[in-house]
Structure 1
Amino acid sequence: MSEERNAIPLILTGIGCILGTVGCLWYYGYLHFAKPEDALLLSEFTMLKTVPGEDYKIALEPAAEVAQCIDGVLVLFDTEQKGLSGVLVNGSKQAVHCMGQETPQQLQP
């Protein structure tokens, strides 16, 4: 009773199951393979500090991104590439938080 089993069909079945699972997850949108062109770098955005009494100039044409506050985090949606969205982060990869429709107030000492 010392029969040896052929392991090749078991290995091929395992590989086939993994590939089938990945294919199904990708097809239904649960798995996304990111491409370099999908990422927007933070260096493409600049914050203009508003100082009372000083004028600043901005372009009349709006940006291709739209921001929305979701669960207290600022999320950018690209209007040109459908389905492309991301969270705005600083140089330390910390998410930029937002406070809904409220304007931030300076704390009184």
Structure 2
Amino acid sequence: MNEARNPIPLILTAIASVIGTVGVLWYYGYVHFAKEEDALLLAEFTMLKTVAGQDYKVSLKPASQVAQCVDGVLVLFDTEQKGLTGVLVDQRKQAVRCMGQETPQQ
């Protein structure tokens, strides 16, 4: 009963299993393959300067990004694209700092 086994079907099964698993995880959003355009500008932001006694108008519809203070840096979370986050920076790629909200400590 010492038959020599052919390893090719086992190798092909292992490769197909890995490819199938990665494909299913990608389909359900657990794996994201980063593309060059993912690092590009997500949206343009403009700061409206508030002046005492002067009115300004903003849209009632909220933006699709939500900001949160994390370790003193303003981090944006996109509500339309799952898992898309980024740090708000200025023209010189300097991170916008936030203050007044402490990061939870464990």
When normalised by structure 2's length, the TM-score is 0.60
Q: How many residues align?
A: 76
* Unaligned residue ranges in structure 2 (runs of 5+): 1-21
Residue 65 of structure 1 corresponds to 65
Residue 95 of structure 1 corresponds to 95
The whole-number CA distance in structure 2 between the counterparts of 1:38 and 1:71 is 22
* Unaligned residue ranges in structure 1 (runs of 5+): 1-23, 103-109
Stretches (4+) displaced over 6 A: none
Residue 40 of structure 1 corresponds to 41
The whole-number CA distance in structure 2 between the counterparts of 1:55 and 1:33 is 42
SS in structure 2 opposite 1:76?
A: strand
Q: 1:64 to 1:101 in 2, by over 3 A?
A: same
Query: Quick one: percent identity of the two aligned structures?
Result: 65
Matched to 1:83, the amino acid is: G
CA deviations on 1:43-95 (whole Å, 9 max, x unpaired) are: x1100000000000000000000000000000000000000000000011000
State the Cα distance separating 1:41 from its structure 2 match.
Answer: 4.7
CA deviations on 1:18-60 (whole Å, 9 max, x unpaired) are: xxxxxx9xx886x852341563356x11000000000000000
The whole-number CA distance in structure 2 between the counterparts of 1:34 and 1:61 is 30
When normalised by structure 1's length, the TM-score is 0.59
The whole-number CA distance in structure 1 between the counterparts of 2:33 and 2:98 is 27
